[in-house]
Amino acid sequence: MSSELRTQVAIVGAGPAGLLLGQLLQRAGIDTLLLERRSADYVKGRIRAGVLEPGTVEVLEYADAARRVRAEGLTHDGVEIGSSGRRNRIALKELTGKLVTVYGQTEVTRDLMDARTTSGAPSVYEAEDVSVSDIGDSPRVRFSSNGETREVVCDFVAGCDGFHGVCRRSVPPDFLSISERKYPFGWLGVLADFRPPWAELIYAASDRGFALASMRSETRVRCYIQCSLDDSVEQWPDDRFWEEFGARVGQDIRVRIPNVPSLEKSIAPLRSFVAEPLRFGRLFLAGDAAHIVPPTGAKGLNLAVSDVFYLYEALRTFYKEGTERGIDHYSHRCLRRIWRAERFSWWMTRLLHRFPGDEFDQRMQQTELEYLFESHAAQSSLAENYVGLPL
């Protein structure tokens, strides 16, 4: 084995959670080493979330990584909810005083990677066979890179390695409690370059299933339809996708979709998942490593950012004030917000998707939508959660 590496916080995973934590800690003078299984280009190319809560943009600002999101992000002061051919606007700004920012996760990732390069903080991409040991008191992280095995000795490990990562699996199962719900459908997403014929996002419920009209910029759209878990992208050529999308969102939209080839197409399953607590000894879980929400409501990325902000505060308190108070409260502090986002994402998913259910379930869903369209209080509740609960 070659030389031992030493850092204060070893961060596993260079998704938004790992990169943001690294940036916040570096700025506070705390050393980090970032280990990522994939190449930097692969991570940057992964198309995922698109809506940032104002609190998320503030944290990016605090991390000195918000120049581009402030300049190029699209601020939206409302969203539309469609049902039975009608569309109703939820006036986010009027109801909450807040706006959301449409800015792709790919761009957040790029901004944070650039900030890390500028700071000179070390990262290892294409780190293979990452494993974590001795997390009770003196953690070690092993990995291979370019055929060499390396060992990192550190004070703490931040498990920011997503749902399929290694960190959560390193906690003895008896210490974790898992709550999970799988949904009987997925989302088929398409990215394409044309001017969005919608001004705000449209979340549409229909007899044929859910559809979402979103965007990445003034010239790029991102759209989703609810699909079967057995479907493959090959079964959805562009024509079929846009026909189905139009049938769900509205023909006024369908007729304005140009015939251009898609840039990317992928299917994601929907799941609710929480592993608690988020701390075991000197290992912390943050972001998708600890929890998953179904994407309806756009909470996944935002929740990763709030976990990381709390973890940053806890570690800063540890290093600057010499007290474990922050790290002791980390899990509890995160979980309050996590469960609220889980509730909202579950509720939005149930409200808008077609489920295999009986007549009663369908009447309840219809009634809930009607109530939402007619009640100021119901709209306020949706808006308050959509723009994000306070950090």
Q: Where along the sequence are the contacts to ligand FAD (CB under 6 A)? A: 12-18, 35-38, 43, 48-49, 105, 127, 130, 160-162, 164-166, 268, 287-288, 295, 298-301, 304
382 makes contact, choosing from ligand DHB, ligand FAD, none, with CB < 5 to 8 Å by partner type, with: none
Among 21, 49, 57, 63, the residue binding ligand DHB under the rule CB under 6 A is: 49
Beta strands in 240-337 (DSSP E): 264-276, 279-280, 283-285, 291-292
Q: Of the two residues 206 and 214, which places its CB atom closer to ligand FAD in the complex?
A: 214
Please pick, among 103, 183, 291, 299, the residue that the annotation labels catalytic: 299
Residue 78 lies near ligand DHB (rule: CB under 6 A): no
CA 286 to each of CA 9, 33, 181, 272, 325: distance values in angstroms, whole numbers, following the listed order: 14, 16, 20, 16, 18
Phi, psi dihedral angles at 272 (to 5 degrees): -110, 135
312 is catalytic: no
Structure-token pair, residue 9:
């916080």
The rounded distance, in Å, linking the Cα atoms of 216 and 10 is: 32
116 makes contact, choosing from ligand DHB, ligand FAD, none, with CB < 5 to 8 Å by partner type, with: none
C-beta nearest to ligand DHB: residue = 50
Q: Of the two residues 49 and 334, which places its CB atom closer to ligand DHB in the complex?
A: 49
CB of 94 to ligand DHB, least distance (A): 20
Tokens 């088929």 sit at which residue? Answer: 188
The rounded distance, in Å, linking the Cα atoms of 304 and 291 is: 9
Q: Of the two residues 298 and 338, which places its CB atom closer to ligand FAD in the complex?
A: 298
35 makes contact, choosing from ligand DHB, ligand FAD, none, with CB < 5 to 8 Å by partner type, with: ligand FAD
Q: How many residues does the chain have?
A: 391
386 is catalytic: yes
CB of 64 to ligand DHB, least distance (A): 25
Residue 298 lies near ligand DHB (rule: CB under 6 A): yes
Kindly indicate which of the ranges 46-54, 107-115, 154-162, 272-280 contains the residues binding ligand DHB, using the contact rule CB under 6 A.
46-54
Q: What angle do CA 353, 81, 255 make, to 5 degrees?
A: 95
62 is catalytic: no
Please pick, among 44, 76, 93, 265, the residue that the annotation labels catalytic: 76
Residue 225 lies near ligand DHB (rule: CB under 6 A): no
63 makes contact, choosing from ligand DHB, ligand FAD, none, with CB < 5 to 8 Å by partner type, with: none
Phi, psi dihedral angles at 368 (to 5 degrees): -65, -40
Distance of CA 345 to the CA centre of its chain: 12
Q: Of the two residues 160 and 369, which places its CB atom closer to ligand FAD in the complex?
A: 160
CB of 50 to ligand DHB, least distance (A): 2
Q: Of the two residues 222 and 353, which places its CB atom closer to ligand DHB in the complex?
A: 222
37 makes contact, choosing from ligand DHB, ligand FAD, none, with CB < 5 to 8 Å by partner type, with: ligand FAD
CB of 215 to ligand DHB, least distance (A): 7
241 Cβ contact list (under 8 Å, min separation 6): 188, 190, 223, 225, 262, 265
Kind of pairing, strands 211-217 and 220-227? antiparallel
301 makes contact, choosing from ligand FAD, ligand DHB, none, with CB < 5 to 8 Å by partner type, with: ligand FAD
157 Cβ contact list (under 8 Å, min separation 6): 9, 10, 11, 12, 132, 135, 139, 141, 167, 282, 283, 284
214 makes contact, choosing from ligand DHB, ligand FAD, none, with CB < 5 to 8 Å by partner type, with: ligand DHB
For residue 185, the one-letter residue type is F
Give buried/exposed letters for 45-75 (b at 16+ CB in 10 A, else e): eebbbbbbbbbbbebbeebebbeebeeebbe
Q: Is 318 helix (H, G, I), strand (E, B) or coil?
A: helix
Closest of 144, 130, 149 to residue 283, by C-alpha: 130
CB of 33 to ligand FAD, least distance (A): 12
Residue 295 lies near ligand DHB (rule: CB under 6 A): yes
* Interface residue list for ligand DHB (CB under 6 A): 49-51, 201, 212, 214, 222, 295-298
The residues carrying an active-site annotation are: 76, 203, 295, 299, 386
